[in-house]
Amino acid sequence: MPQNEHMERHRKLHGRRMDHDERMRKREARKVHKVSEYAQKVKGLKAKLFNKKRHAEKIQMKKTIKMHEEKQSKISKEPDVPEGAIPAYLMDREGQANGKALSNMIKQKRKEKAGKWNVPLPKVQAMGEDEVMKIMRTGKRRKKAWKRMITKHTYVGEGFTRKPPKFERFIRPMALRSKSAHVTHPELKATFSLPIIGVKKNPNSPLFTQLGVITKGTIIEVNVSELGLVTTGGKVIWGKYAQVTNNPENDGCINAVLLV
């Protein structure tokens, strides 16, 4: 193995930290402050090069924003030549047509990516890590405190295999693992017990989403194939999103409302 590939090898063998995405997000958020500090301190030729690079970035950013603006853009078109004479005040006018900058499909995809749904519970009470996770002390004298036990319901997936207990940082107890949810269809006014496919978004933290923690307000994906729902094209819908409406750790089960 080449000397410079030890980090890639370690990543392939053991994966990334559980909070890697959150750390990267925070680092990206702090980046603007570091750039600002550097811009104030830098002098001479380095300042010229830095300002040139920053100027190019700003131009590119403005172009991107302009391209993604949803306001109506006016597209000039060739004027239609009408039959017969036209008034003098219409002769110099250019034909204009209003066109959308983005198609409906792109808007829909972007909305899905941003995770915006019309949900039954738009606001939920925030939950901190100290409420969801319990510190587990390990070691001969119980001085190490890097392990955490999840105290809420979780979903871990079908082919889940635990890490060796010595190296497992986040412990998800078997008693609190859920495989199905009681999902209510708002239009049919009926409740079904459906298997869970995955946790789409936990509003409290990206880390909880990654760990599959299910709390009140969490968006989960459920298997609705047995309901017989079909698309306009006639295809059977396999998975749909639902929002959890109860506190599963209090009730011992997951109650959710289907997002239609």
Find how far residue 206's CA is from the centre of its chain. 8
Residue type, position 154, single letter: T
pLDDT in tens, 61-119: 888 888 777 555 555 555 566 666 777 766 665 554 444 545 666 666 666 555 555 78
pLDDT in tens, 42-66: 999 999 999 999 999 999 888 888 8
Q: Please return the burial class of 258, using the count of CB atoms within 10 Å of its CB with bins 0-12, 13-18 and 19+.
A: buried
> Whose CA is closest to 155, among 172, 135, 170?
172
Q: Is the dihedral of CA 243, 245, 248, 251 positive or negative?
A: negative
81 vs 210, higher pLDDT: 210
pLDDT in tens, 9-26: 888 888 888 899 999 999
Find how far residue 131's CA is from the centre of its chain. 23
> Whose CA is closest to 211, among 129, 142, 252, 154?
154
